[in-house]
Amino acid sequence: MFFKTSTLLLAIVALAAAAPSSGIAPSASLIHFMMHSQSLRTATTLNMNCFDWYLPILKGHSDKYEENYKVCAEEFNAAKWLIDTSYGIARNGITSKAKETCDALERCSHEDESSDVFECYSKTAPEYSVILNTIGNNSTDLNKQLIAELAVIDFDLDVCQTKAERVYKEDSADSFEELNACLEDENWSQPIPSV
């Protein structure tokens, strides 16, 4: 007699619930298992003891993956904050030069007589245009350097996430293989926990 469809459905729902929710590919292991598991398709009994035993193990791999994935993001955010902060002095310096420029030009408009206004602009504008030019050049240079530093930690994040994914795929593939063997073994009994 084939096991009830509802039992199979329950098993699949439970398996899906034990899969990670963040990241991308990991649940591929689950789909692969469901599509290739001979026992899921042909077994006449579905040994629910196997699920009782392997679901928490699969959930454990999934939780470990989520945790590692979270650590990757935390490390990335901390490194990003440090990089951004390290440009604080340069950023404030440029901002204060920009303010100084605006203030100097603004002051010209407060002169009473037109001739004084013109004289003020004619003196102030060339002086500050050099500073504005430097602001532009410095900002270009700083941003290039900053973007290069961010690219390094982007790469680190990618390496970290890939590693977490690989560990999960390997661990869960092993567990799915064991679950499969369990489902095919009518005499399977829960291993005695070694302390």
Binding residues for ligand NAG, per CB under 6 A? 93-94, 97, 130-131, 133-135, 137-138, 185-187
Nearest in space to 191 (alpha carbons), one of 14, 54, 47: 54
- Least Å distance, CB 104 to ligand NAG, is 13
Q: Which residue, 79 or 94, is less far from ligand NAG as judged by CB? A: 94
Q: Which residue, 113 or 186, is less far from ligand NAG as judged by CB? A: 186
Q: Which residue, 85 or 137, is less far from ligand NAG as judged by CB? A: 137
Q: Is the dihedral of CA 72, 77, 79, 83 positive or negative?
A: positive
- Least Å distance, CB 148 to ligand NAG, is 17
CA pair distance 194, 58, nearest whole angstrom: 19
Q: Which residue, 77 or 145, is less far from ligand NAG as judged by CB? A: 145
> Tell me, what DSSP letter sits at residue 113?
S
- Least Å distance, CB 144 to ligand NAG, is 12
- Least Å distance, CB 141 to ligand NAG, is 8
In this structure, are residues 171 and 61 in contact, taking their beta carbons and an 8 Å threshold? yes
In this structure, are residues 3 and 45 in contact, taking their beta carbons and an 8 Å threshold? yes
Structure tokens at 25: 């590919």
